[in-house]
C-alpha cells in the first residue's frame, strides 16, 4: 500500500506544480512534462 500512496502523493505534487506553472505563465519542468515526439 505504501508504493500506492507514494505514487499518489507524487501525482498530486506534479499536478500542483503544473497548475502553478500555468498560473505563472511558465512552462513545466521538462523532467515532469509529458514526453513529446
**Looking at residue 36, what is its pLDDT?**
59
pLDDT digits (tens, 9 = 90+) for 1-37: 789 899 999 999 999 988 887 787 766 566 666 665 5
**Looking at residue 2, what is its pLDDT?**
87
State the CB neighbour count (10 A cutoff) for residue 28. 15
What residues have CB less than 8 Å from 14, skipping those under 6 apart?
32
**Looking at residue 20, what is its pLDDT?**
83
pTM equals 0.49
Sequence ranges of the domains in the chain: 1-25
**Looking at residue 6, what is its pLDDT?**
92
Amino acid at each position: 500500500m505504501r508504493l500506492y500512496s507514494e505514487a499518489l502523493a507524487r501525482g498530486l505534487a506534479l499536478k500542483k506544480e503544473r497548475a502553478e506553472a500555468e498560473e505563472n505563465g511558465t512552462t513545466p519542468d521538462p523532467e515532469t512534462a509529458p514526453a513529446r515526439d
